[in-house]
Amino acid sequence: MRRILICCLMCLVMLCSCTSMMSELTNTPTYEAQAYSVHYTNEPISKDVKVLVLCDSGDFMFQRDVETSMVEAFNENGITAFAYSSIEIESQPPFIEYLYAVAMENDCRYVLIAGAHDFYTYEYGGGISQMSFDSNMADYEASEIVLRVSGAINCEENLYHSMTESIEPACKTMAEAIVDEYMTYVESPV
């Protein structure tokens, strides 16, 4: 009887520890972002514009996630945006000429080029622990950079998550930080 009771207690302890480990594995990692920006003009940025979002990250795996997250963050703030990766490319003209043609064709005022770099991951296949980002917003009509936002995100708690599981929340946090900085320069409605 005593052995059965000890076995039951051991099983209960193992079950509890497995349950807590599983809850750590299934929770989405949460990130914090620190961002700073430089506004290069004296004019406020308009909210009634279209923004073409392009990711210049060297890692293709992140490009679509960064662009999608940026578009969603702009749309949530009432700004029309679309991702460069969603455009059908018929031929391969010089990149800058093509980028301007796409911006003009879609009546875009701004082109935002965002990049994610300097990834740090946890050991043994863990998820993203830190990531740096920067973005430049160019005014297509004025041919100048109007806003530059840079910063970093970090997460203390995703030791048990894979790289794949942590890409989306990391990109989403980065996008929100960039758009929040952008919105501080948007002209206030009169």
Question: In percent, how much of the chain has pLDDT > 90?
Answer: 2
Q: Is the pLDDT assigned to residue 186 strictly greater than 70?
A: yes
Mean pLDDT of the chain: 72
At 113, the pLDDT band (50, 70, 90 cuts) reads: confident
- Residue 129's alpha-carbon distances to 18, 135, 161, in angstroms, are 24, 20, 10
Residue 14 resides in a domain: no
Q: Is the pLDDT assigned to residue 95 strictly greater than 80?
A: no
Q: Is the pLDDT assigned to residue 22 strictly greater than 60?
A: no
Range of the domain at 91: 30-183
Higher-pLDDT residue of 38 and 79 is: 79
Residue 60 resides in a domain: yes
Residue 17 resides in a domain: no
Residue 8 resides in a domain: no
Residue 38 resides in a domain: yes
Q: Supply φ then ψ for residue 150, to 5 degrees.
A: -130, 160
CATH, residue 59: 3.40.50.10610
Residue 151 resides in a domain: yes
Lowest mean pLDDT among 25-34, 47-56, 59-68: 25-34
Residue 116 resides in a domain: yes
Distance (Å, whole) CA 170 – CA 52: 21
Task: Give the pLDDT confidence score for residue 26 in this predicted structure.
Answer: 47
Residue 9 resides in a domain: no
Number of independent structural domains in the chain:
1
Closest by CA position to 73, among listed 185, 184, 174: 174
Task: Give the pLDDT confidence score for residue 125 in this predicted structure.
Answer: 63
Q: Is the pLDDT assigned to residue 6 strictly greater than 80?
A: no
Averaged over 128-150, what is the pLDDT? 82
Lowest mean pLDDT among 43-52, 131-140, 157-166: 157-166
Task: Give the pLDDT confidence score for residue 112 in this predicted structure.
Answer: 84
CB within 8 Å of 82: residues ≥ 6 apart: 50, 51, 52, 53, 71, 106
DSSP 160: T
Task: Give the pLDDT confidence score for residue 72 in this predicted structure.
Answer: 92
